Structures are given as structure tokens and as C-alpha cells.
Structure 1
Amino acid sequence: MKKIIVALVLFAGSFAVEAQELVWETNVTKAMEVSNKTKKPMLLFFTGSDWCGWCIRLQKEVLKTPEFAAWAKKNVVLVELDYPRRAAQTPEIKKQNEELQQAFGIQGFPTIHFANGTAKEGKVNFEGLGSTGYVAGGPSAWLAVANGFLQKK
């Protein structure tokens, strides 16, 4: 019986480690390079991490789950575009995020856009694949919506 419990604890712990291994880029130029190299679209997460209740809920219910981690590693390049009220940001990140908020027409948080990006002659062009926000029902419901966008590409 002890061996079964130990095995279950180790198995559950492996999911927790997997969820922690996700890399969220904050520099969209770097994310675009990774996206083009790996042929995976970017998942652009527009969030107010320290004040937006729905953003925090989306993180807890979906983005920090083992199911999402496994899916994300296979399907997307993660990009967090944060608009905090209390946390400090570098002027470069703040400027980048403001420009992207305007470019994508973000009016509320959380908003997630799936997009491919290309840079030509110093200009960045995004090909939008779809957008969503909080979806009730946990990771499976949210991933069903996300997969719908990715299957269209």
C-alpha cells in the first residue's frame, strides 16, 4: 500500500513540475523568432496580473494546470503582455505592451489572441487566428475553444 501511495505522489508531483516549466515570453520580438522557428503560433495573453479578477481566475483555472501545460508545449509559444497597477515594468516592456494593446484593439482583460507574426523591413505584421478570454468549465472547455482557432490555421 505504501508503494502505491508513493507512486501516486510522484506521479502527481510530475504534473506540478511540468506546469512550472512553462516559459512565458514578455518580449514579443523574441517570441516571434521562436514562433517562426518552431512553426507554432503565439498565444498572446493580455492581462492585468495584479488587479484583474478574471485574469487571476483564468490563470488559476486554466493557465496553471497540467492539462494546459502539456497542450501549450505542443501547440503554441506563450507570450504574457501584462498591464499591472502595482508591479514595476521596464519602459521598453511598457511601451511594447501599449503598442500591442492598440494594434490588437484590446478593450478588456483577460484577452487572448492567437497569432503568427512576421517582421519585414522593420515592421511587424500579425496574422490573427482568433481570440478568446475567460471560458467557464476549466481547462477542457478552454482548450476546446483554443483548438478551434488552431485547427483553422
Structure 2
Amino acid sequence: MNITIREAYLPHDDPDAALAFYRDTLGFEVRNDVGYQGMRWITVGPADQPGVSIVLHPPAADPGITDDERRTITEMMAKGTFASINLATTDLDGTFDRLQAGDAEVVQEPTEQPYGIRDCAFRDPAGNMVRIQELT
């Protein structure tokens, strides 16, 4: 069996802020930017990994959820507890400095973790946790 990761989904509540963070601050390329019925889906990813993407999506577009569930999602996004993603880089300190200079919300400075990795953490404009691990 040959299975690969194609896309991961992260919610956003402000497409322009999400685009600025993932394109301008993280340096990802924009692969698709689609609007439909007042909502916007933005697909981004690292230029050197064309087969892997992050789809930034409006949480209100998820089919089959109730209004109560939408409110819960909105509350969890505001607290930063709804969604997360782990990224990796060979230059953790440089990446941290660039993100901090770009006014990203710092959650954790570069730290040696007891489970054997060094990483840092930020929140994107929607509150999603973005952890960045150092590749060795």
C-alpha cells in the first residue's frame, strides 16, 4: 500500500489574516484561493513540497454541523483549542525570529523537550496552534 498525506485542513475566521500569516510570515506559496457564497478557501504549502498542502477553510462551511456546534467551534478557535499543525525546519531559531518579528502570537520559545525534540509554538490569526520542530 502506498499512502501519502495530501492535505490538512485548518479553520480560519479571517481569510486575509490567514493569507498574510501563511504566505507572508511562513513563506508558503498560495496554490489556490477560491471564494463561494461569501466564504473563502485558501490552499497553501511549501514550494519544495508540491504534493502536500494546508487548506485554510471557513468552519461555517462544514456540512452537517448544528448552530450549537458552530458556536462551540468558534469559542474553541478563540481560545486556540480547536486545531493544530506541526511543521519542521532545519533553522528553528531563524524561523522563530522571523515569526516573532512578523507579530505572530508566541506560545513557546524554542525549547528542548523531554521527549527528544526541540520546538517552538505560535498561534495563527485564527488561534490554531502551530508547532515548529527542529530537524536534525
The TM-score, its normalising length taken from structure 2, stands at 0.25
Name the structure where helix makes up a greater proportion of residues: 1
The TM-score, its normalising length taken from structure 1, stands at 0.23
Higher RCO (C-alpha under 8 Å, 6+ residues apart): 1
Name the structure where strand makes up a greater proportion of residues: 2
